[in-house]
A and B are shown apart, each in its own frame.
Chain A
């Protein structure tokens, strides 16, 4: 029991990191990005590529991959989503689904469809015990790293000029525009941030568990689930949602491995039915 919770929490930080961007894009641009999982997988595989093929150390590879994923996301926003996001939300859903298909197919074409995992050599001691549970130190470092990245994102949104523009667009798009905020540029930057943090999540995840191009949709669903648990428009909510989801996903695959997806999706349905605003959601605008 104790070990399940601890291992779940260790993964949960990464799930939260992947979901921040999803929640941000839904809140600010007002779209559900079905291509979101692609960013996670892309960031992970790019980290793997940079570390193994070009021999970069882990941390620079991680940062480089995250920035590249952010650029990809910004590009997708500028070329495609910017043209459609004001029309019916359904079209954007289908459009991002198409984008996800294209990027995934290109990924399979150039990287192959096999699952990859990155072994990172650290000089750290193997791990330590909490109670009777062995905690690998690398997993723990990644967990801390995910919390730090979440903190950086929080400061970015709350304390900077860019963050102010993002929050203004989220709360009142027209007034923001009247006050001289460039909407399309802010949206592109939002998408960049979303992609970068997702890429970071992917790069961290691939150091623990395998990733492959075909997994993008799972990550989209996971991010959505985390956001639904935590609540739209609340960073704390997403963080808590990520940790809860981590424990839940680990527990269900540990105790009932054959029906694990059903358990998580049933939970998603229950949350959507009975608490669509999530645990920390503000209630407003949750049913766009």
Chain B
């Protein structure tokens, strides 16, 4: 039964859905009492882990489910943070409003970039990267967004919540986010994305409106980082292009998803937690070699375990029955991946 959590293909109806929601609820319940146990430093770390889980799960929709690797996805998180900062500082809006605003802005923006879905694969990746770099440049130069010019100091946002408050805000957001991912994966949209990732031409010849589902996936995976970004603004309390539009956010989304296993609900969650642990360990012990170790790790994963942790788990559990003595001897090499 637990295998169904890791499975890449679609679902098996209501039972599976209930099972996944039960796991999600358990996951949330375990995390609720953390602020009573941990000190402030570790709560901050936990918030970053939650944000990473959220970002990776969002990226997974377009990158994992649809198979379109967006290399500019950090732009949605950064824009969300700018919406949050400008909304709170300049217009005095409350946090929930700017969060919704952030999601709307990035969602609509993603809709505007529909034309880049004329591209595929690597060309799509580079197109989305170009979008990121263009926005990076605009936000740095536009006086409305207070890019970091000589006398501009970015946006200082007063934190409106306590640290525990932020922890529970992000925990709530992540639970809702993963809930929507589960619903999406088990819905028509999820099946359509699964089909078009495998073979886009075949999917469209079967009457699946490929472009429509790709756009749905892209808007979904852009709106959530916008919401998270808007909530991130008062948490980090200083917003500038350097602090929220850094390439590392995009990279973290991609790495966490691939590390855990792209195209599964749980993959990005596992990946984000695992990467955060590694990150903390190397950051604490080998500060100077931090990026080097991180890079080496990426190379190692992609070279030797291209399916991620989840596929590692799958291949382990799948190998177990083969050991039965009465099982038929395998003929040739059995292909494990789907």
Contact = CB atoms under 8 A, between A and B. Distances in A.
Contacts of A272: 116, 119, 123, 126-127, 130
B303 A269 contact: no
Contact of B295 (A93, A105, A261, A268): A105
Interface in A56-110: 80, 83-84, 87-95, 97-102, 105-106, 109
B108 interface: no
Given A102-B295, A276-B123, A265 B130 contact: yes
B222 to A, nearest CB: 17
Interface string A240-264: 0000000000000000001101100
A53 interface: no
A106 B306 contact: no
A273 B258 contact: no
Given A84-B306, A261-B133, A102 B122 contact: no
A272 to B, nearest CB: 5
Contact of A87 (B122, B134, B292, B306): B306
A106 B118 contact: no
Contact of A101 (B121, B138, B291): B291
Interface residues of A, number: 38
B134 A262 contact: yes
B79 interface: no
B292 A99 contact: no
For chain B, which range describes its interface: under 10, 10 to 19, 20 to 34, or 35 or more residues?
35 or more
Contacts of B304: 83
Nearest to A273: B115
A224 interface: yes
B208 interface: no
Contact of B133 (A102, A265, A273): A265
Interface string B131-161: 1011011100100000000000000000000
B187 interface: no
Contacts of A159: none
A172 B302 CA distance: 27
B123 A262 contact: no
B292 A269 contact: no
Contact of A94 (B67, B131, B134, B255): B255
B199 to A, nearest CB: 14
A118 B145 CA distance: 39
A16 to B, nearest CB: 19
Interface string A110-142: 000000000000000000000000000000000
Nearest to B115: A273
A107 to B, nearest CB: 11
Interface string A156-172: 00000000000000000
A105 B286 CA distance: 14
14 contacts: A32-B122, A84-B303, A90-B69, A95-B303, A101-B292, A101-B294, A102-B299, A109-B292, A259-B141, A262-B133, A262-B138, A266-B134, A272-B127, A276-B118
Interface of A: 26, 32, 80, 83-84, 87-95, 97-102, 105-106, 109, 221, 224, 258-259, 261-262, 265-266, 268-269, 272-273, 276, 287-288
**10 pairs of A and B residues whose beta carbons are closest in the complex:** A101-B295, A98-B298, A95-B302, A105-B292, A98-B299, A102-B295, A262-B137, A265-B130, A32-B122, A90-B69
